[in-house]
Amino acid sequence: MNNAEMPRRPDEHGVPDPFPYMHPTLRANYGNWDWHERPRPGVLHHVAKSGDEIWTVRAGTQRQMDVGTIRKLCELADEFADGFMRFTTRSNAEFMVTSADKTEPLIEKLNAAGFPVGGTGNSLSMISHTQGWLHCDIPGTDASGVVKSLMDELYHEFTHEEMPNRVRMTTSCCQINCGGQGDIAINVQYTKPPKINHDLVANVCERPAVVARCPVAAIRPAMVNGKPSLEVDEKKCICCGACYPPCPPMQINGPDSTKLAIWVGGKHSNARSKPTFHKLVAANLPNNPPRWPEVADIVKRILYAYKEDGQAWERLGEWIERIGWPRFFEMTDLAFTKHQIDDWRGARSSLNASTHLHF
Amino acid sequence: MTKKTHPSPLLDELKSGPWPSFVDGLQRLAEDDDKPNSDMMKDLVGQLEHSYETRKGYWKGGTVSVFGYGGGIIPRFSEVAEKFPESSEFHTLRVQPPAGMHYSTKLLRDMCDIWEEHGSGLIALHGQSGDIMFQGCTTEKVQPAFDELNKIGLDLGGAGPALRTSMSCVGHARCEQSCYDEVRAHREIINGLLDEMHRPALPYKFKFKFSGCPNDCVNAIHRADMAVIGTWRDDMQVDQEKVQEHVAKVGRKQMIDTVVAMCPTRALSLNDDDTLDVDNRSCVRCMHCINVMPKALSPGKDRGVTILMGGKRSLKIGDQMGTVIHPFLKLETDEDFETLVEFTEECIDFFAENALEHERIGETIDRIGLANFLEAMDVPVDPNMVNHPRTSSYVRTDDWDVEAAKWFEHKKAKAAAK
């Protein structure tokens, strides 16, 4: 066999060893840090047991970056941070510098290049980000656009630490909810059952798998126009979109039927209270690119009510826990509807079995 | 002849405002006519604008892979290719970053050079599972792009019914609250199970996430089939002088309001001399007081991890968090790491053999009951696994004495091991 035509076998490296890519001060003090403080928003100061110190400057990015943007970040890392940098789980870039003097000039250059510095402590960090219309095969909306629009409006809350505690926002372009749980989550919520293209189902979809995928058993096999297809019991259908990924002819998205919903009070950390899921507070908002103003309006109402009324260290969900849901809906001028009373499995545990009431 | 750019009035509206704009980057790539993929990016911007106009997505999946692997590539074929032919294939390579997402500028620049030559020049740092996403590649270029990335030490991540790319927090590298070596756990576990990532054969996806302490900065409890979270089981470390300094600085009212009163198990009390009393047996290691006073308070010295399993997103039974499977595993010595790695292998084997198609491990555990899963994994039951014992009497208890004997035996063995 001609070796030149043999495809190359992969080297199965797995997860790369980070030590060659880690800032030397971090490498030297691995596992031996002593304490930290935040000298200003966007800057962390860590002190190691050895006495070594490192200042981290955190900058927001657009996540979907062209090579030019990444090379710009590299230039700054070379100039200030010894040629190393890292990213946070929320797509913030972090530059580690070995002297406090370097932080201000680095911040100036980051700002001049269009990167906001912040996202530390009790600020709003970058909104966790899914793919959307740019690359996903099932999206109801565009994550990059929603995130950009909101971060433009909430820029001050990224660059300042003025919230009661940290705020973690998320977006999701379908109800699978890749964006995860958040203090405030902006997620697609479908409002109509799938529209089925019966000509394609038999060829494209593995029908038993699609039937099995439905959470409420609303899909059954059927012959339509003489072709094997699927039908949906629209009275049972909860419009979740679970059938759409395994069966694209069951189109769940529509320009007007795909809506956005807002959820609040999700929390990952174990600090104080146990982790929590976010809860539905608004739905049926229009999917309105390029700037989704109806979404931004409600997000700001919630965020600023929390900023105003939350006590130090209370996360958004803990704030609501204290003031109660009636006051939350009053302060945000949002509606509480029958759709916010859960009827999914385990729902009874979300009902109030006490006389603990808020008036 | 140079291809024309599509007008993009809606996307252009996202170029204004203070936050960095992804549209600027897309347009820069489209307008850089010297680069091989500027035409692809011109049509990509055209298709995205079309989505903004019509409020619909236009990508469909397919099958694309590299030689030797079954997963790691996310194929995207355009449904509107007749209008936007150059971006008719726009696949993503999911690539695993160094653990903790550390980069040298050399590595980042090499990634950029490779992606500019073989792909679109668009890179997302990072996806929700923790992958570097090299977005925008033709079917033909997927293999050469991967070969070049693989030669600089990078490897594909997970996709489909497989072990997925993992994430660990910054941890030991820069955080005093970190309770175990996250890099080591992350690499030993994932790299020990690589076959499950590269050749998808599991019932459904399986995700690990590694957080150094209960602040859980990588969101492991919500998002991972197995969450590995650092903790300690001895007394929290208190530097009383620094507690007094803190009280002197912020005042007693703030100290009581933000530290003592916020302790979830009422385990803290401020003494008259402004030192802190800690009831360590009542402490649940929530991290709150340590977060408020990182100079004065730190985790204890007897450190290890808590393992929680079953976290997942909505499909299909609704969102679930992971729940406690191992309340505490010591994680310091080589043997400790071996024990953890062996446990993960057993879990993956159990998942492969027992989960139904398209079922996450949390759903499997739900279906068979936690007690049966624990028995299969040979993990003894522990009251830390529940919020409270059962409240329903619908259970058969004729072998209660046998089970109780196991409990006392286990208790004796644990005392002997100490």
pLDDT digits (tens, 9 = 90+) for B280-307: 999 999 999 999 999 999 999 999 999 9
Mean pLDDT score, A54-82: 98
- For the segment B202-217, what is each residue's pLDDT rounded down to a tens digit? 999 999 999 999 999 9
Per-residue b or e along B383-405, where b marks 16 or more CB atoms closer than 10 Å to that residue's CB: eebeeeeeeeeeeeeeeeeeeee
Q: Give residue A4's pLDDT.
A: 62
Residues of A whose CB is below 8 A from B315: 176, 213, 215, 242
Contact call for A87 and B103, based on CB within 8 A: yes
Q: What is the DSSP letter of B103?
A: E
Q: How many CB pairs lie under 8 A apart between chains A and B?
A: 355
Which comes out higher in pLDDT, residue A139 or A178? A139
- Given a cut of 70, is residue A257 above it in pLDDT? yes
Token pair, residue A129, equals 């980000």
- Which residues 6+ apart lie within 8 Å of B359 measured at CB? B203, B204, B367
Residue A148 neighbours by CB distance under 10 Å: 27
In this structure, the answer to whether residues A141 and A211 fall within a common structural domain is no
**Lowest mean pLDDT, pick from A1-5, B4-8, B259-263:** A1-5
Q: Which among B56, B103, B121 has CB closest to A253?
A: B56
Residues A156 and A58 in one domain: no
At residue B25, the 3 state secondary structure works out as helix
Residue B389, pLDDT above cutoff 70: yes
pLDDT of residue B22: 97
Inter-chain contact B51–A255, Cβ cutoff 8 Å?
no
Position B417 confidence tier, pLDDT thresholds 50, 70, 90: confident
Domain total in chain A: 3
Q: Which domain CATH number covers A90?
A: 3.30.70.3340
Name the residue type at position A199: D
pLDDT band at A2 (very low <50, low <70, confident <90, very high): low
Least CB–CB distance from B174: residue in A37, A46, A287: A46
Pairing of strands B208-211, B226-232: parallel
Confidence of residue B317 (pLDDT cuts 50, 70, 90): confident
The CATH number linked to A212 is 3.30.70.20
Does residue A76 fall inside a structural domain?
A: yes
Q: Give yes or no for residue B1 having a pLDDT over 80.
A: no
Tell me if A116 and B90 make a contact (CB, 8 A cut-off).
Answer: no
- What are the b/e assignments for A245-274, b being 16+ CB within 10 Å? bbbbbbbbbbeeebbbbbbbbbbbbbbbbe
pLDDT of residue B29: 97
- The answer, yes or no, to whether residue A7 has pLDDT greater than 90, is no
By CB atoms closer than 10 A (0-12, 13-18, 19+), residue A343 is: exposed
Please report the residues numbered 187 through 216 in chain B whose beta carbons come closer than 8 angstroms to any beta carbon of chain A: 187, 190-191, 194, 198, 214-216
**A309, part of any domain:** yes
Check: complex ipTM more than 0.90: yes
Contact at CB, A148 and B21, closer than 8 angstroms = yes
Average pLDDT score over residue span B73-82: 97
Band (pLDDT 50/70/90 cuts) for residue A179 is confident
**pLDDT by residue (tens digit) across A74-90?**
999 999 999 999 999 99
* Closest Cβ opposite residue B68 in set A10, A71, A96: A10
On whether both A52 and A184 belong to a single domain, the answer is: no
Pair of tokens at residue B324 = 């406690």
* Domain annotation covers residue A10: no
CB A144 within 8 A of CB A129: yes
Listed residue (B418, B417, B178) closest to B304, CA to CA: B178
**In the predicted model, is pLDDT for residue A3 greater than 80?**
no
Q: For A75, name the nearest residue in chain B, comparing CA atoms only.
A: B105
> Each residue of A206-226: pLDDT tens digit?
999 999 999 999 999 999 999
Residues of B in contact with A4 (CB under 8 A): none
Residues A203, A55: one domain? no
Give the C-alpha separation, A31 to B177, whole Å: 9
Q: Is residue A118 part of a domain?
A: no
Task: Please identify, in words, the CATH class of the domain defined by B167-233+303-417.
Answer: alpha beta
Q: Where are the domains of chain B?
A: 1-158, 167-233+303-417, 237-298
d(Cα A73, Cα A79) in Å, to the nearest integer?
10
Inside any domain, residue A180 = yes
Residue B121 — left, alpha, or beta (φ > 0 → left; ψ -120 to 50 → alpha)? left
Question: In whole angstroms, what separates CA B333 from the centre of its chain?
Answer: 24
User: Stretch B153-160: mean pLDDT, rounded?
Assistant: 97
**If we measure between CA atoms, which residue out of B396, B55, B9, B92 comes closest to residue A190?**
B55
A52: closest chain B residue by CA: B174
The rounded mean pLDDT for chain B is 96
Strand partners, A262: A186, A282
Contacts of B243 (CB under 8 A, 6+ apart): B274, B275, B276, B293, B296, B297
CA distance B127 to chain A (A): 7
* Residue A114 burial (CB count, 10 A): 17
* B61, B102, B124 ranked by CB distance to A21: nearest: B102
* % pLDDT > 70, chain A: 99
Model confidence at A1: pLDDT above 60: no
* Domain CATH number, residue A290: 3.30.413.10
Residue B5, token pair as written in the block = 């750019």
Closest to B215 measured CA to CA, from B294, B268, B281:
B294
Closest residue of chain B to A61, computed from CA coordinates: B20
Is CATH 3.30.70.20 what the domain over B237-298 is classified as, yes or no?
Answer: yes
| Alpha helices for B33-159 (secondary structure H) | 38-54, 105-118, 139-151
Residue B267 CA: distances (Å) to CA of A78, B262, B283:
47, 10, 6
Q: Which of A1-5, A86-90, A202-206, B163-167 has the lowest mean pLDDT?
A: A1-5
Specify the pLDDT at position B198: 98
Nearest CA in chain B to A37: B294
Q: Let me know the angle formed at the C-alpha of A70 by A67 and A71, rounded to the nearest 5 degrees.
A: 85
| Domain around A105 | 19-112
Cβ separation A13–B97 shorter than 8 A: no
pLDDT digits (tens, 9 = 90+) for A283-320: 999 999 999 999 999 999 999 999 999 999 999 999 99
How many angstroms separate the CA of residue B133 from the nearest CA in chain A? 9
Report residue A52's pLDDT band, with 50, 70 and 90 as the boundaries. Answer: very high
- Chain B environment of A146 (Cβ under 8 Å): none
Distances (CA, A) of A313 to A187, A227, A322, B336: 26, 60, 13, 36
- Which residues from chain B sit within 8 angstroms of residue A214, using beta carbons? 316
Q: Which residues in chain A have their CB less than 8 angstroms from residue B46's CB?
A: none
Nearest 5°: CA angle at B112, between B110 and B114? Answer: 70
Distance CA A208, CA B116 (A): 43
| C-alpha angle A131-A135-A137 in degrees, rounded to nearest 5 | 100
pTM over 0.90: yes
Contacts of B66 in chain A (CB under 8 A): 10
Sole residue written with tokens 């070594």: A52
B306 forms bridges with which residues in the sheet? Answer: B229
Angle at A278 between CA A276 and CA A280, to 5 degrees: 145
State whether A272 and A182 are in the same domain: yes
- Three-class SS of chain A: CCHHHCCCCCCCCCCCCCHHHCCHHHHHCCCCEEEEEEEECCEEEEEECCCCEEEEEEECCCCEEEHHHHHHHHHHHHHHCCCEEEECCCCCEEEEECCHHHHHHHHHHHHHCCCCECCCCCCECCCECCCHHHCCCCCCCCHHHHHHHHHHHCHHHHHCCCCCCCECEEEECCCCCCCCCCCEEEEEEECCCCEECHHHHHHHCCHHHHHHHCCCCCEEEEEECCEEEEEECCCCCCCCCCCCCCCCCEECCCCCCEEEEEEECCECCCCCCCCECCEEEEEEEECCCCCCHHHHHHHHHHHHHHHHHCCCCCCHHHHHHHHCHHHHHHHHCCCCCHHHCCCCCCHHHHCCCCCCCCC
Rounded to an integer, the average pLDDT of B163-167 is: 98
B324 CA: distance to closest CA in chain A (Å): 13
- State whether A9 and B223 contact (CB < 8 Å): no
Closest CA to A283 of A348, A214, A191, A170: A191
C-beta atoms of B221 and A275 within 8 A: yes
Interface-testing mutation among B10, B19, B101, with chain A (most A C-beta atoms within 10 A):
B19
Instruction: Judge: B150–A13 Cβ closer than 8 Å, yes or no.
Output: yes
- Distance from the Cα of A148 to chain B's closest Cα (Å) equals 6
Residues A259 and A325 in one domain: yes
In angstroms, the separation between the Cα of residue B168 and the nearest Cα of chain A is 9
Would you state the pLDDT for residue B315?
Answer: 81
Q: Would you say the CATH fold of B237-298 matches that of B1-158?
A: yes
The H or E element spanning position B347 is: helix B334-354
Q: What is the mean pLDDT of residues A44-73?
A: 98
- Does A294 lie in the same domain as A331? yes
- Residues A156, A204: one domain? no
Residue B128 in contact with residue B157, Cβ under 8 Å? no
The hierarchical CATH code for the domain B1-158 is: 3.30.70.2500
User: Does A308 lie in the same domain as A171?
Assistant: yes
Residue A53: closest C-alpha in chain B: B174
* A61/A242 Cα distance (integer angstroms): 32
- B103 and A345 in contact by Cβ < 8 A? no
Taking residues B264-293, what's their average pLDDT?
98
Instruction: Give the mean model confidence (pLDDT) for residues B365-385.
Output: 96
Please tell me whether residues A154 and A268 are part of one structural domain: yes
CA quadruple A26, A27, A29, A34: dihedral sign: positive
> In this structure, are A309 and A225 located in the same domain?
no
Cβ contact B59–A136 (<8 Å): yes
Q: In Å, how far is B83's CA from the nearest CA of chain A?
A: 16
Residue written as token pair 């992969």: A10
The answer to whether the CB atoms of B109 and A135 lie below 8 A apart is no
How far does the CA of residue B234 sit from the closest CA of chain A (Å)?
18
Instruction: Identify whether A144 is part of a domain.
Output: yes
| Pair (A177, A312) in one structural domain | yes
